[in-house]
Chains A and B, each alone.
Chain A
Amino acid sequence: MQELKSQFKQIWFVDFEFSVKPGEFPVPICMVAEEYYSRKRLSLWSDQLKACEQAPFDTGKDSLFVAYYSIAEFSCFLQLGWSLPENVIDLFVEFRNQTNGLTLPLGNSLLGALSYFGVDSMEALEKEQMRDLAIRGGPWTAEEKISLLKYCAKDVEALRKLIIRFSKKIHTLSALNRGRYMKAASVIECNGVPIDGEMFKKFSLNWSYLQENIIKEIDAEYGIFDGKTFKTDRWKKWLIEQKISWPELPSGTLDMREETFREMSKKDKKIAPIYELRATLAQMRLSDLAVGQDGRNRASLSTFRSKTGRNQPSSKSFIFGPAVWLRGLIKPKEGFGIAYIDWTQQEVGIAAALSNDERMKSAYSSGDCYLTFAKQAGAVPWNATKASHPHIREQFKACVLAVQYGMGQDSLALRLGQPVSKARELLRLHQEVYKKFWSWSDAALNFYLSEGHIKTPYGWTLHLPRLSYNKVNPRSVRNFPIQATGAELLRLACCYCVENGIRVCAPVHDALLIEAKLEDLDDAVLTTQNAMSVAGEKILEGFKLRTDVKIFRYPERYMDERGSVMWETMVGLLDKPNPPTAYVPIPPMEQYLAV
């Protein structure tokens, strides 16, 4: 604690209890805050919270705010109209960073963290009972209020115990930098993604009808389905007719796994509608999409949940999670526009910068790293263009992507539709041309295996599970610095944007979706691009990453070309002259408690 004590005059441990409906803003129920040095404790019920114009404790530059998954607390701050604290250390994030890659018997929850450090905590059953009490909703009896406040206070006490246990391992500035992102993420979650409410309602009311009829519409050109059943033998016949080679399982049957279908749909556009259709039928319940009464999709970003430190939002409740075609529901309100801004070939740029491979840097900076790779490998002349050598460019592109995703020669051959020997040759060329990169990649793996961890520029760490070396996937480890640095880039860009008043609706892997009034949209795009560029330069030693922009102005809607056929077909079904008769309303959204 010495380092923290020397930097902060006050350290506040804070916990809120609140209820929230899917897609809506949280409703604070109560809050307990306790100061580390003075042990001063504040226990406030919702009416007392609402009476406060700002947080009832110091949140300025000399104070530290400590919470466990603080986005929940900040959502309440925002609802209460309070300014977010200056300095934040989130013990969930720090616990994740200290155990990322290890198997935790009780997971990443507060109870899991306490148990990991051998600290006594409340029983899970007691926690469950309190959650139920909050979910039940008010009015609460005086006794119930006391119970809820006590429960809240126990979490605050747990924070004190926890920070004492692992404060020695926390690098304060790095932790503050991660805490900064939790603030930005809470604002982004509250902003949400604008949804075409009318269309969402139409889809929701007619979901059963659409599911039944979309098969007929899409399948008319394929003839694969029998009623609602996908017939593999018909699929096989169609593939033969189309002369498309499809991977098989060792048993000799077609490999119909979802990931194989997804890979193949990227390779051949004809497959994409059937993939989208299968995804829609298999996974989707429109009622899971968290859309609030104000027509905005708000889902937990689940920050720092993945090993690379990327967000891991629910694939069901987040609009960027379900089938791609559904993203057509994203539509700016009248007078507004949205922009989807992503880093161009981010992973190649990061790999080039981190490894300091001049040839890879030059390929990235050329604007077409795939064709430049082919040129550097001597596969095409130096004056070749995308138009003059499209097929070779595609092969080298597949190879670059294969290296990024850690694919082996078999998977690359599948992606290329070529023999394994061809894939092997391409991968060999990659190793030859980008020798410095491969040497760096080897060193990254060696460092991880010898030192027991590997870190990104700002300290996100992957730990080696000492007792299960055999579970280490070398390709994942090699990929970790690149992916995790990509996550760091996105986090810093989010902070810059939010802190500069840009309305960020969602971070999406290597992109930001922003929203602005039509008259401000161009400026907002420019600011966002600058933010992304500055973030890149700061993290990658001045190396410049480019960004691409797609702008949609009201009344345009967002559209991803992979889902456009499916979207048009769905809308076409709704517009048919004979409307469906069997309406199935969405089930009422259940209130639940997020703590």
Chain B
Amino acid sequence: MTETPQFKDQFDLARIKLSTDYEGLESVKKLITVVPVKKPNAQEFVRVHPSPEMRLQTTTLILKDEGETYLVEKDLWPELLAETAPVCLYTAINRQGVLFLWCVKMPIKTNKQNWTKSTLDAIGAAQKGWIRMQANMSGGYYDIYKASGNLPEPEWPELTFQEIIRIAFRDRFIDSLDHPALKQLRGEV
């Protein structure tokens, strides 16, 4: 066998080498402009932020047909008892890195308790590992599945909870009884 030849360059090619670390080079940062308020669907694995500062007990108005959730000004709660529901909003993220607020209705009706209880169990589990939950219609609760693979920890965006709330409810904050969402409910629109 002949000797392996040396592959010589006219000059050190490192002198012309450019970086392809576009993340390091780019002057663009992804802005989070939408934070959905929802519960996770049956196919997505999710995590919940474990910090108590990243959750909020409040009252919302949910327009089911439109799939829209509105945050309600505290002063209006007494007047909107019939239309609104107490909820807890948890900061959550899915495997694709989509940040969302997991909206969980607090139990009022006793016949719904198992749904809520299993949801809270899921939230507890999601603070420690990746889970997904799927409705078990015959049992009346959610089945919880824990990811068996060694999935990496979620990368939480650098946003405060205040900022997340502001983005999530940017156009959906009810601060007066004349709000269009309430008018719609009253049949005035």
Residues of A whose CB lies within 8 Å of any CB of B are: 86-87, 171, 173-174, 176-177, 180, 354, 356, 378, 428, 431-432, 435, 439-440, 442-444, 446-447, 449-451, 454-459, 481, 485, 492, 496, 499-500, 522-523, 526-527, 530-531, 534-535, 538-539
Contact = CB atoms under 8 A, between A and B. Distances in A.
Interface in B1-36: 1-2, 4-5, 7-8, 10-11, 13, 15-18, 20-23, 25-28, 30
A452 to B, nearest CB: 12
Given A500-B7, A527-B4, A531-B7, A440 B18 contact: no
Interface string B131-163: 000000000000000001100100000000000
Interface residues of B, number: 28
B16 A440 contact: no
A534 B17 contact: no
B13 A446 contact: no
Contact of B20 (A431, A432, A457, A530): A457
A443 B26 contact: yes
Give chain A's interface secondary structure class.
helix
A538 B26 CA distance: 24
B49 interface: no
A177 B13 contact: yes
A526 B25 CA distance: 38
Contacts of A444: 20, 22
Contacts, number: 86
Contacts of B7: 496, 499-500, 530-531, 534-535
A443 B11 CA distance: 31
B105 interface: no
Q: Please list the 3 inter-chain residue pairs (A to B) with the smallest Cβ-Cβ separation, ordered nearest first.
A: A443-B22, A443-B23, A446-B28
B39 to A, nearest CB: 19
Contacts of A432: 95-96
18 contacts: A87-B10, A176-B11, A177-B13, A177-B16, A431-B96, A440-B22, A443-B22, A443-B23, A446-B26, A447-B25, A450-B28, A451-B26, A455-B20, A456-B20, A457-B18, A458-B16, A527-B2, A530-B5
Interface of B: 1-2, 4-5, 7-8, 10-11, 13, 15-18, 20-23, 25-28, 30, 95-97, 148-149, 152
B20 A174 contact: no
Contacts of B15: 173
Given A440-B23, A443-B22, A171 B1 contact: no
B127 to A, nearest CB: 20
Give chain B's interface secondary structure class.
loop
A535 B8 CA distance: 11
B28 A530 contact: no
Contact of A447 (B17, B22, B148): B22
A104 B13 CA distance: 31
A387 B54 CA distance: 48
B22 A457 contact: no
A496 B10 CA distance: 11
B16 A447 contact: no
Best-surrounded residue of B5, B10, B20, B30 (most CB of chain A within 10 A): B20
Contacts of B1: 522-523, 526
B12 to A, nearest CB: 9
A176 B28 contact: no
A538 B16 CA distance: 11
Contacts of B26: 443, 446-447, 450-451
Contacts of B13: 177, 458, 492, 538
Best-surrounded residue of A86, A446, A454, A456 (most CB of chain B within 10 A): A446
Contacts of B149: 378
B96 to A, nearest CB: 6
